[in-house]
A = this chain, B = another copy of it.
Amino acid sequence: MARIGVMGFGVVGSAVAYGFRKMGHEIYVYDVNAERVKLAERFGFNAAGIEDITECEFIFICVPTPCRQDGSCNLEYVEKAFWDLISTCKKKGNDKGQIIVVKSTVPPGTCERLRNYAIDTEVNVHVVSCPEFLREKHAVEDFLNPDRWLGYVVIGGFEKQAVDKVAELYKDFNAVIVKTEPEVAEMSKYVSNLFHALKISFSNEIAKICERLSINPKKVMDILRIELNRATYIDPLLGPFTGKCLPKDLEQMLALCESVGYDAPLLHAVKEVNERVKEVNERVNHPSLRGRGLSSGDNDAINPHKTRRAG
């Protein structure tokens, strides 16, 4: 049994608090909003001050990360929560290697920045990224049953020991535990949601095409659903799609869309991205460039010779 502090009692925080209490842990909840503190108490949680929270072995930051005006991620709540924690630790001399787990969705590199604050402030805490993948309307259920939703828990950290300790908290959950670097964990949350957004927009685009062709889109997508559990072609090392089928069928569907007056922005973007990747491939395969060597950061060239064909 561990002593767990939860900062923020919104959708994620309440699911974390409820879920870990159900797994037998002792939970302390902190929130700046008095109403949410009352709510937490009504659910039987210990309302805590920031000093009580620093007594916990694990501290989960579950505060909002809304968009700023320009769309970028507003990190002020995360930074405020983290700063309150480490400055209290510093003041009390209470920094015994607590593990601060960032549950909020944050841009890659955020945990590294937070960790650097702690190092600069000379406070001995560990920062771990463990993004929450639950659905808004099924928060508690998804937290407790990762297997029924996405099937994994991603834990990204700088020190193996801290990662292992967080993994231990999840040992009774029926989920694949992925231990990785913090920036991979942070990015994986965005990628998961972007992929959902992609599938939804693809479904909507196919519906628009089907509408113009008088085809039932539900029946078409129900067929696609059968194959989805094949997990094919999700691999950034594949390079562009080539071969006889995918480029041809994409071309033909674009022509068909044009003939029925639908401009298909998503399918056009697929073509554009593929052509760019192909261009890079051709460039790196060009005789004049061979053997020149590529910067290791150049992912376009991770495997420029590989391409993917499907029937």
Chain A residues in the interface with B (C-beta under 8 A):
11-12, 65-68, 70-73, 105, 107-109, 132-137, 139, 142, 149-152, 154, 176, 178, 180-181, 183-184, 187-208, 210-211, 213-221, 223-241, 243-246, 248-256, 259, 265-270, 272-274, 277, 297-300, 302, 308-311
Residues of B within 8 A of A265 (CB): 269, 272-273
A-B contact pairs, 22 of them (CB 8 A): A12-B311, A105-B249, A135-B310, A135-B311, A139-B311, A149-B230, A150-B227, A154-B223, A184-B216, A184-B219, A184-B223, A193-B310, A194-B206, A194-B250, A194-B253, A196-B241, A197-B270, A201-B270, A204-B236, A207-B236, A221-B236, A229-B230
Residues of B within 8 A of A226 (CB): 150-152, 176, 178
Q: Would A206 and B236 count as touching, CB distance under 8 A?
A: yes
Q: Would A194 and B251 count as touching, CB distance under 8 A?
A: no
CA of A105 to CA of B244 in the docked complex: distance in angstroms? Answer: 12
Chain A interface helix/strand/loop/mixed: helix
Q: Would A71 and B187 count as touching, CB distance under 8 A?
A: no
Q: Would B229 and A231 count as touching, CB distance under 8 A?
A: yes
| A227-B152 in contact given A217-B299, A236-B218 (Cβ < 8 Å) | yes
Q: Would B274 and A224 count as touching, CB distance under 8 A?
A: no
| A190-B252 in contact given A151-B226, A195-B224 (Cβ < 8 Å) | yes
Contact of A223 among B188, B193, B224 (CB under 8 A): B188
| Nearest CB of chain B from residue A167's CB, rounded to whole Å | 15
CA of A222 to CA of B151 in the docked complex: distance in angstroms? Answer: 13
Residues of B within 8 A of A215 (CB): 108, 183-184, 187
A188 closest partner in B (C-beta):
B223
CA of A243 to CA of B196 in the docked complex: distance in angstroms? Answer: 13
| Nearest CB of chain B from residue A152's CB, rounded to whole Å | 5
CA of A252 to CA of B259 in the docked complex: distance in angstroms? Answer: 35
